[in-house]
Amino acid sequence: MKSQSKIRYRTAAGILALSSALVLSACGSDDNSGSGDDKAKGGDKSAAGGEIKCGGSGELLASGASSQDNAVQQWVADYQAACPDVTVNYKPVGSGAGIEEFLNGQTAFAGSDSALEPEEVEKSKKVCSGGQGINLPMVGGPVAIAYHLEGVDELVLDAETLANVFNGEIKQWNDEAIAKLNPDAELPDTKIQPVHRSDESGTTENFTAYLNTVVKDAWPDEADKKWPIEGGQAATGSAGVSSQVKQTDGAISYMEISHAESNDLSTVKLDTGASEPVEATVENASQAIAVGERVGQAPDMALELDYATKEEGAYPITLVTYEIACDKGNKPESLDAVKSFLAYTASEAGQQSIVDVGYAPLPAEMAAEVAKTVDSLS
């Protein structure tokens, strides 16, 4: 899966150009099947400030990462307003389950917070007749460390302290290591209650990759979709962990920013070694994505981000969610709808539509290449 030369997706200014007035609120309903209108079939329809080229008909099944669910709900609403002949049904079952359903031929595409593993690519050849599964980056954003601690609205942690919180070495919120990073905070002696994902998740893989990369001594477990430590509190999906943190004083967990924002949870600033601690924001995640490197061989577009970055304003625990589809051998009955829907999500209008629900759009150059790759699916 590695290419000989890595491609950087820097914009001209070195970061993504984002609106200066981002509204980071996201709460989408659980119904993401969208609703159609009485527009005529086919053709180009105006939606979300851009043109959508409709294609196919019937139900388009997909599943995967819950971290992108709010973005997908926005895309589905836009798309189905223009293309009522297609019903997009995306189930946020987690990256691991979504990939498994795709590999079993149950869905047209999958959403995942991590690229396919080599063994998964090999398995995909059985469902992608004459082809294989490829990774199409489609949405980015920070994996926020959200917490609920009465009386403490601002908190700074570094990678080592964070690792020791989640591995159980640090048990109280007024521990010396946390107090040293927060000299002006009045930290209570409340018990720390870490919450992790119970399902296999690309968000877990990104979080554990960060810890294992930056503080391997404190976190020797390698990156994995499955939480590596037995016991502790757990919940299913990003919605589950965010809900549990919200209702538990002393709780802390990892989730994409939209779920933290929609639950009014405080988020940790990370001491990365830069001059100032870095906040989990769309803008700061964009800094990390813009200097990412492509490591997949065309048409695969797997990326590699630098978890150990010390670049000013770059938030290191940033994930890119991929839509995983067959490059060749897609099912004829769903191919047109897959290409139509994913073409919209990669378009300028589709990428901008998710900013207001807490996600970072792809760099323009990357999004254009994704759109070109989507057009080549067969």
Q: What is the pLDDT of residues 172-225, one digit of tens each?
A: 999 999 999 999 999 999 999 999 999 988 889 999 999 999 999 999 999 999
Question: Residue 27's pLDDT is what?
Answer: 30
- Token pair 């933290």 is found at 260
Lowest-confidence pick of 31-45, 90-104, 118-132, 348-362:
31-45
SS3 278: strand
Q: For residues 329 and 325, what is the distance between their CA atoms, to the nearest angstrom?
A: 10
Question: What single DSSP character describes residue 151?
Answer: T
Whether this model's pTM surpasses 0.85: no
Cβ atoms of 110 and 66 within 8 Å: the answer is: no
Question: What single DSSP character describes residue 59?
Answer: E
- Token pair 């989408």 is found at 28
Residue 292: partners with Cβ closer than 8 Å, 6 or more residues away: 8, 9, 303, 304, 305, 306, 320
The torsion angle over the Cα atoms of residues 104, 109, 115 and 118, rounded to 10 degrees, is: 40
Question: Residue 202's pLDDT is what?
Answer: 84
Q: What is the pLDDT of residues 48-84, one digit of tens each?
A: 445 799 999 999 999 999 889 989 999 999 999 999 9
Q: What is the pLDDT of residues 304-319, one digit of tens each?
A: 889 999 999 999 999 8
**% of the chain at pLDDT higher than 90:** 72
Average pLDDT over residues 96-123: 96
Res. 5: pLDDT tops 60: no
More confident residue, 45 or 322: 322
Phi, psi of 244 (to 5 degrees): -70, -40
More confident residue, 7 or 364: 364
Over the chain, what is the mean pLDDT? Answer: 87
Q: For residues 157 and 88, what is the distance between their CA atoms, to the nearest angstrom?
A: 40
Q: For residues 138 and 289, what is the distance between their CA atoms, to the nearest angstrom?
A: 12
**Helix, strand, coil: what percent of the chain each, to 5?**
30, 20, 45
More confident residue, 2 or 345: 345
Q: For residues 342 and 109, what is the distance between their CA atoms, to the nearest angstrom?
A: 10
- Token pair 């992608």 is found at 128
CA angle 108, 298, 120 (to 5 degrees): 50
Average pLDDT over residues 148-168: 97
Residue 202: partners with Cβ closer than 8 Å, 6 or more residues away: 65, 67, 95, 96, 112, 113, 114, 225, 319, 321
Q: What is the pLDDT of residues 115-140, one digit of tens each?
A: 999 999 999 999 999 999 999 999 98
Res. 38: pLDDT tops 70: no
Question: Residue 256's pLDDT is what?
Answer: 85
Q: Are strands 269-271 and 156-158 parallel, antiparallel or unpaired?
A: parallel
Q: For residues 232 and 308, what is the distance between their CA atoms, to the nearest angstrom?
A: 27
Residue 187, CA distances (Å) to 125, 128, 159, 376 in order = 54, 54, 19, 55
Q: What is the pLDDT of residues 255-299, one digit of tens each?
A: 988 889 999 999 999 999 999 999 999 889 988 887 778 899 999
Res. 35: pLDDT tops 70: no
More confident residue, 25 or 360: 360
